Amino acid sequence: MKQLRIIGAVCTAVTLASAGMASAQSDGVDHAKADAEFAKFRAEMEDSNPAELFELKGEELWKAKRGPRNVSLAESCDLGLGVGKLAGAYVQNPRYYADAGKVMDVERRIVWCMTEKQGFQFADIAKKPFASGNYTPEITSLVTFVAGHSRNMKFAIPMNDPKVREAWEIGKEITAYRAGPYDFSCNTCHGSDGKRIRMQNLPNLGKQEGAYKGVFGWPGYRMTGGVMLTSQWRMNDCFRQQRFPSPKYASDTVTYLLTYMTGTSNGLIYKGPGIKR
């Protein structure tokens, strides 16, 4: 029994889908088989992902002349690869922007372009920045449109840039920072291997495979509620789940956390825009 357990542990770590190998984890479930079934289900769901509808909306918004300055994002917004350049932009952010003097993730950068180039007010965008019910904010559709141009590309944020490196380090510190009424930190749930809440496996964000699970599918269409959600939303929801006060929308804190997870995932393939439970 002990020998089988050791073999079982190695198997689950390597995620083999070998039908003959029964999992030797103590819960008696064949995890390899279950993972294979989930992969099949996910492939089926990804075909005709409603996220594509938001890519279409985002395309309209990106190309249209809008805002008090009547200018389009296509002709004014630089996501790090040049004005209007979209291919691969999503997987090369967060990055440092000299014109803003900040490290920014894609959503925060598009908001910056909307305020600085198109003349929109940040307060108007921040009032209802996340989707709920039948409402999807414009920024969500824009992020989804941009993300669609990085399909199946490798994460490649500029970790050699000292500003990005600094943001990564701060993000790492934040994940260890305990606060709120339960004295939780991100690491309370996401700081070690093998943790689970009810039916959700909790990825270990300190390891590459865990950090990757945190970023590979956002922005994603969540079937519960039928809404399109971004990684800015997901960070906000993590804070809610810890019973922390909400982070300020598109703030440094959120960027640092996203930089930490994305930087750790460099080299792995982005699978979004995704579809979720």
From residue 153 to residue 192, the character string flagging contacts with other proteins as x (rule: CB under 8 A) and all else as - is ----------------------------------------
Among candidate residues 11, 113, 189, 238, the one labeled active-site is: 238
Query: 249 in helix, strand or coil?
Result: coil
Judged by beta carbon, residue 49 or residue 115, the one nearer other proteins is 49
Binding mask 3-42 for other proteins (x = CB under 8 A): ----------------------------------------
> CB–CB of 92/158 below 8 Å?
yes
When the beta carbons of 55 and 107 are compared against other proteins, the nearer one is 55
Q: Which one, of 13, 36, 39, lies nearest residue 24 by Cα?
A: 13
Q: Which of 253, 267, 90 is nearest to 172 (CA)?
A: 253
CA atoms of 116 and 83, how far apart (whole Å) = 14
Give me the least distance between CB of 70 and other proteins, in Å please: 24
Q: Which is nearer to other proteins, 198 or 277 (CB)?
A: 277
- Which tokens in the block code for residue 148? 């669609």
Residues in 212-241 that interact with other proteins by CB under 8 A: 221, 223, 226
From the number of C-beta atoms within 10 Å of its C-beta (0-12, 13-18, 19+), residue 199 rates as exposed
CB atoms within 10 A of CB 83: 13
Q: Which residues bind other proteins (CB under 8 A)?
A: 47-50, 52-53, 56-57, 134, 221, 223, 226
List residues with catalytic annotation: 238
